[in-house]
């Protein structure tokens, strides 16, 4: 299957990646090659085969429902672009 530039533009929008118009064609060709190559999977018979969910079965574990960490607001804020009174402040992300 080959991906056209419209599909690449749509996927780029879904992935929140700005791709300049001039790069859409070469990217479409790269992605088409990769998708064309992975399509060989369609020849594998998978009737009645469950999709993998857990590769190495390990028993799920529970921990005590206790507070075991916290009080680190200055550490938590150390990578924040900005903060006010111990709160994270970011650009407006809700319209």
Partner 1 sequence: MMTSGIDLKYLTISQANQALNAGDYTSHDLTQIHLDAMAAERNLNSFITETPHRALAMAEASDKRRSKGESIGPLDGIPLAIKDLFCTEEILSTAASRALDGFIPSYESTVTNNLWNAGAVLLGKTNMDEFAMGSANVTSYYGNCINPWKASSGNLVGRDLVPGGSSGGSAAAVAARLALGATGTDTGGSIRQPSSFCGVVGLKPTYGRCSRWGIIAFASSLDQAGPITRSVRDAALMLAEMAGFDSKDSTSANLPVPNYVESLDGNIKGLRIGIPSEYKLGSMPDEIEDIWEQGRNWLLDAGAEVVDISLPHTKYALPSYYIIAPAEASSNLARYDGIRYGLRVEGEDLIDTYEKTRAAGFGDEVKRRIMIGTYVLSAGYYDAYYLQAQKVRTQITNDFNSVWKQCDAILTPTTPSAAFAIGDKMEDPIAMYLNDIFTVPASMAGLPAISIPAALNKEGLPLGLHVIGPAFTEQMVLRIAEVIEAAAEFTASPNINNIAAG
Applying CB under 8 A, which residues contact partner 1?
A: 3, 7-8, 11-19, 27, 30-31, 33-35, 37-42, 44, 46, 49-56, 58-61, 63, 72, 75-76, 78-81, 88, 90-93, 95
Q: How far is the CB of 81 from partner 1 (least distance, A)?
A: 7
**H or E element, residue 82:** strand 82-84
Smaller CB distance to partner 1: residue 49 or 84?
49
Smaller CB distance to partner 1: residue 56 or 84?
56
Alpha carbons 4 and 39: distance in angstroms, whole number: 17
Of 36, 31, 37, nearest to 11 by C-alpha is 31
Smaller CB distance to partner 1: residue 54 or 85?
54
Alpha carbons 29 and 35: distance in angstroms, whole number: 10
Of 2, 64, 67, nearest to 30 by C-alpha is 2
Q: How far is the CB of 60 from partner 1 (least distance, A)?
A: 7
């Amino acid at each position: 299957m080959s991906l056209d530039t419209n599909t690449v533009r749509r996927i780029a929008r879904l992935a929140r990646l700005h791709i300049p118009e001039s790069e859409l064609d070469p990217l479409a060709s790269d992605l088409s090659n990769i998708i064309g190559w992975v399509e060989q999977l369609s020849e594998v018979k998978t009737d009645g085969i469950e999709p993998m969910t857990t590769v190495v079965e390990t028993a799920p574990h529970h921990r005590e429902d206790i507070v075991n960490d916290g009080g680190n607001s200055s550490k938590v804020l150390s990578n924040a672009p900005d903060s006010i009174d111990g709160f994270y402040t970011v650009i407006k992300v809700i319209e």
